[in-house]
């Protein structure tokens, strides 16, 4: 096996499957084929003997992680560490995908890859534990952090907004959390390039370009969806504060990632988040 991709059924896994570079022999495993919470992850991967591992699997239920932190840590910490140990024993490359949620969100400027992590919730803490285990087992691994991921496949903010905008008369959306919406297809191209490249031991940041609040993102989704006939009428969208939309998990207020080094290193196509959103909505329209 040349490339093993975990998390095949997720947003990123799905986009990785759509963007396999020519000539690459890639095998995609979903949770039933390789459960990162299972006891035998390292042995199973050793038996498959990939040359490259792209880890797109993760426990990603941010709010549920607050009450299921054991499971979140089993998958995002120990299971991810087992993948990295297998990669080390096979002398394989590994790209591990991580998150902006390892940062505390109090910065006023984009987070650099080397900046000190300080997660504010269980999900971010479990992902940080994964980063630590990957780095300890396989110092040459590429850790690629991303943020606010969406795609036509799977559940995400864009699809939730379309559903709510189609069924409600008015919507309040959090305006005091700032980040960068990121289309999983562009992310997949960056992951492929990182996996097939020769650089090692790097922590990279990849998101689409620009910044937005969830409110800005929602307004853009509505405008673009109306233009494409994915919504038939506009509803008022009100900016609200995080404290007026309580959730089990705290989230970083500001989680823009500094991508300067990554953009200099990778040739993967990069674009402003709004341009990427248009392409994703075009795809949704084709599917409809
Ligand atoms: N989504 C975001 O906004 C976001 C933001 C920053 C970073 N990231 C990171 O980006 C990566 C890809 O995220 P995504 O958006 O593609 O997430 P996703 O759509 O939730 O996909 C994650 C995949 O992991 C699988 N998975 C969950 N538990 C597993 C286990 N025990 N063993 C094996 N597989 C398991 C899920 O399987 P099922 O399909 O069976 O549930 C799912 O297919 C993750 O590392 C995530 O932490 C995501």
Model confidence pLDDT, tens digit, residues 225-260: 999 999 999 999 999 999 999 999 999 999 999 999
**Ligand 1, atom nearest to 13 Cα:** 16
Rounded percentage of the chain residues whose pLDDT exceeds 70: 100
Model confidence pLDDT, tens digit, residues 113-151: 999 999 999 999 999 999 999 999 999 999 999 999 999
Query: Can 59 be counted among the known catalytic residues?
Result: no
Q: Ligand 1 centre and the CA of 173: distance in Å?
A: 24
User: Residue 1: what pLDDT?
Assistant: 59
User: Residue 264: what pLDDT?
Assistant: 97
- pTM of the model as a whole: 0.97
Fold exhibited by the domain 3-155+180-209+255-270: Rossmann fold (3.40.50)
191 ligand 1 Cβ < 6 A? no
5 ligand 1 Cβ < 6 A? no
Q: Ligand 1 centre and the CA of 148: distance in Å?
A: 12
Q: Give domain limits for the chain.
A: 3-155+180-209+255-270
CA-to-CA dists, residue 39 to 33, 34, 193, angstroms: 13, 10, 31
Q: If pLDDT is split at 50, 70 and 90, which confidence band does 176 have?
A: very high
80 ligand 1 Cβ < 6 A? no
User: Residue 288: what pLDDT?
Assistant: 86
Across the chain, what does the average pLDDT equal?
97
Token pair 């853009």: residue: 220
- The pair phi, psi for residue 19, each rounded to 5°, is -120, 25
Model confidence pLDDT, tens digit, residues 5-41: 999 999 999 999 999 999 999 999 999 999 999 999 9
- Active-site annotation holder among 59, 123, 150, 215: 123
């Amino acid at each position: 096996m040349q490339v093993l991709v975990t998390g095949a059924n997720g947003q990123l896994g799905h986009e990785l499957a759509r963007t396999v570079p020519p000539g690459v022999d890639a095998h995609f495993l979903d949770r039933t084929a390789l459960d990162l919470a299972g006891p035998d992850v390292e042995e199973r991967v050793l038996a498959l003997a990939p040359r490259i591992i792209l880890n797109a699997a993760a426990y990603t239920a941010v709010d549920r992680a607050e009450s299921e932190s054991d499971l979140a840590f089993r998958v995002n910490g120990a299971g991810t560490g087992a993948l990295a140990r297998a990669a080390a024993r096979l002398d394989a490359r590994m790209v591990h995908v991580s998150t902006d949620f390892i940062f505390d969100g109090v910065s006023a400027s984009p987070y650099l890859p080397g900046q000190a992590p300080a997660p504010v919730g269980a999900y971010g803490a479990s992902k940080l534990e994964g980063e630590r285990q990957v780095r300890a087992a396989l110092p040459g691994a590429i850790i690629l952090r991303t943020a606010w991921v969406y795609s036509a496949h799977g559940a995400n903010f864009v699809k939730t907004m379309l559903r709510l905008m189609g069924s409600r008369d008015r919507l309040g959306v959090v305006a005091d959390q700032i980040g960068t919406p990121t289309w999983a297809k562009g992310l997949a191209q960056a992951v492929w390039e990182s996996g097939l490249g020769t650089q090692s031991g790097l922590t990279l940041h990849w998101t689409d370009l620009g910044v937005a609040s969830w409110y800005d993102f929602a307004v853009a989704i509505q405008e673009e969806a109306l233009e494409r006939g994915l919504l038939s009428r506009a509803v008022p969208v009100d900016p609200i504060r995080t404290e007026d939309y309580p959730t089990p998990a705290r989230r970083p207020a500001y989680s823009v990632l500094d991508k300067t080094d990554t953009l200099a290193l990778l040739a993967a196509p990069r674009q402003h988040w709004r341009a990427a959103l248009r392409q994703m909505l075009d795809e949704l329209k084709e599917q409809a």
